[in-house]
Amino acid sequence: MNHLHIEKKGLRGLAIAESFQEEDKISTLAGVVMRRDFIIDGFVFGQTTIEGNDATDSILQMYKKLHRDDISFLMISGLIISMYNIVDIKKIWNELKIPIIGVTYENSKGIEDAIKFHFPDSYQSKIEEYRNLGERNIISLHTGHDLYVRIEGCTIQETKNLLDSFTLQGSIPEPLRVAQILARTKL
């Protein structure tokens, strides 16, 4: 397991968020490389298919496009993106060997029912993908907001420390906030 050295000012992470509109067939992904001192040190774009199965591979391609070996972690806004395109953080961890943190902002109760509704003929495999995401943990930020996280390659305490250090206010860590803004402008 790689440990996150939060105390390092130059610690860099890649944060990925998405944006799409209801009628779209493709979702825009934006990635921002941000240092621990909030300096933006790079960005990258990608895309996923709405209701597809390509989110994991798209994220891996985005990371590889950067040609960087100084990225210490990957933070993703949501692990079920682009209308049930599920991100496999175990696969990403196995390929990159850096901590992977999937962040959501609300409880996802009823997700299995929603999957059955959207994929009546093939929901079994999607539900299996969802269940393989691993345990979801609640982290209370220093701002008073809660985040729901799934992680690979780091501890809950390291994740909390990292998210606290990157969250200035509210519930959205700065790298994800900037990635969300960038994804929306790419529409």
The answer as to whether 45 is a domain residue is yes
How many domains does the chain contain in total?
Answer: 1
Identify which of 90, 134, 83 has the alpha carbon closest to the alpha carbon of residue 111: 83
Q: Are the C-beta atoms of 103 and 89 separated by less than 8 Å?
A: no
* Residue 128 backbone dihedrals phi, psi, to 5 degrees: -65, -45
Structure confidence at residue 153 (pLDDT) = 94
Please give the Cα distance from 169 to 97 (Å, whole number).
30
The answer as to whether 172 is a domain residue is yes
The answer as to whether 2 is a domain residue is no
Percent with pLDDT over 90 in the chain: 67
Structure confidence at residue 64 (pLDDT) = 97
Q: How much is the average pLDDT of 136-157?
A: 94
The answer as to whether 84 is a domain residue is yes
User: What's the domain range around 126?
Assistant: 12-185
Structure confidence at residue 167 (pLDDT) = 96
Task: Kindly report the number of other CB atoms within 10 A of residue 76's CB atom.
Answer: 26
Q: How confident is the model at residue 186 (pLDDT cuts 50, 70, 90)?
A: low
What pLDDT, in 10s, does the model give residues 70-119?
999 999 999 888 888 889 999 999 999 999 999 998 876 666 666 666 66
Task: Collapse the DSSP code of 27 into the 3-class scheme (helix H, G, I; strand E, B; otherwise coil) and give the result.
Answer: strand
Say whether pLDDT at 126 is over 70. no
- DSSP class of residue 4 equals P
Q: Got the DSSP string for 68-105?
A: -S---EEEEE-SEETTTEE--HHHHHHHH-S-EEEEES
Q: How confident is the model at residue 10 (pLDDT cuts 50, 70, 90)?
A: confident
State which H helix or E strand residue 122 sits in.
none
